[in-house]
Structure 1
Amino acid sequence: MGRAVARANAIRFHGHEPHSHDVPHLVYLVSGTGKLDVDGRTVLLRAHQSAWLAADVEHSLELSDDGMALGPFLDPGAVPPGGRTRILGQMRDLDDLMLVLLCVAPESDEERNPFRSAIEQVLRAVTREQFPLTLPEHPVAHAIALEAPYFDGTLSELAQRHFTSVRHVQRLFLDETGLPFARWRTRARLNVAIVNLRAGQGMRTAMLESGYTTKHGLLKAVSRECGLPLEELLSAPQRTVELLDEAA
């Protein structure tokens, strides 16, 4: 029905061609599914899932026949972790907020601003990093730091890709971050994994996004770095975020 009668808000039912915005933007699926083309990949969003986009990120959205989407603009400072795009699973707090947004249908910036602030608070809460990490300033070490959490290979392979030696990388990381490279990389990977878990993405997605090949390997790293009993994590992996919050 929405497709048939919508005029002013037809984009919510039909999707849109490639474009970008000069402020950060949230694409939220109210119902159905949507194929979001962004950053050179196609992401299938299901009802109550969303994509948090930075300013000037080109994207397009194709909705299913029963699909409906909302696309609230955010404040200029509401940039997703990583600076460009963050795909988010279902979050109860965001669902409740979007339901209120639909009912209120704000028409002015004065009415929209409280929603923008509330949406950003929810997004920040689910994407906060478990371990604050210092990025090395040396150009080569900095480039390796950006790649290390997602690269499947060894430090030796990373060093070769950046035309340097393993020993040089290890020395730079220890001098500039205060952590050995191996521990820095583990914590960076756990940041990625835990952010995905907080965003409702599930254990498998958290593994894939953070470079872990097994659930046991990921939970063992969580146990070691966060001081949680491995047996408890393995017996109830779905409670990982809850256990982290309880231990904080």
Structure 2
Amino acid sequence: MPKAVPPDLDDESGRGRSLARCYPRGLRIDPHVHEWAQVLYAVTGVMWVEVGREALIVPPQRAVWLPPGTEHSIYMMSEVEMRNLYLRGQDVQHLSKQGDVFEINGLLRELITTIAEHESERDDEYLNAAYHLAALELTHAPRYSLRIPLPDKSDRRLEVLCRAVISNPSVDISFEHHAASVGASVRTLARLFTRELGLGFAEWRRQVQLAIALSKLAEGQTVSSVARSLGYLPSSFSDMFRRELGTAPSEFRPDETLAAPEDLTITPTDR
């Protein structure tokens, strides 16, 4: 049973709550739920957020909308400066009832960061207005499609193959090689991909590649090195990236390279 949320959210007074925290690369937050809705946003870094049978890839230009009661887990693909808003269910009934990723415009970014970083300095009237405006902005924020369908546990072969690709998504490793490694035919696995994930292997792996690329770019790696680590020539990689995400990969690189601490795991008892 997933654990539920920070105890401070039990207080129903006020329009919302916020959180500002830094997490190291490799840290995992186990599956959990919140009774309040959540806007999960990182001003720097990339998050891998699993919601149901989907992984949502969240670079700094995007944020995750999680309705009340949505089970989710988080993996920090790079060092992450997180800024979250928690909104009462009664104040967000006009928003989607499903988890989603949306684009962050200038106003929404300033609202989230100002609330999360300076909440203790603002009076209730200001905060109520800021939370209300943030909820209105969410209504109009464009949705973002980069997400990875995940297999259930009904076929161990598909699950093992998918996790192997996530660990090493290079195009240098063929579908035939992956199929042989899990003891299944290419035809069988192709059928499983289509039936269980709704995508062919190549398209699904491309989504994983984009996720890994975003995390590497956010850490400051060059476009060329990221491309080659995934088995692409730099020009081919840039073309694929632009086609899928509508922008150049260089747009996702920070000014300074982020540190990469050792892998950590935590339980969701204090977020």
The structure showing larger relative contact order (alpha-carbon pairs under 8 Å, at least 6 residues apart) is 2
Q: Quickly name the TM-score band, shorter chain normalised.
A: 0.3 to 0.5
Compare the two structures and name the one with the higher strand fraction. Answer: 2
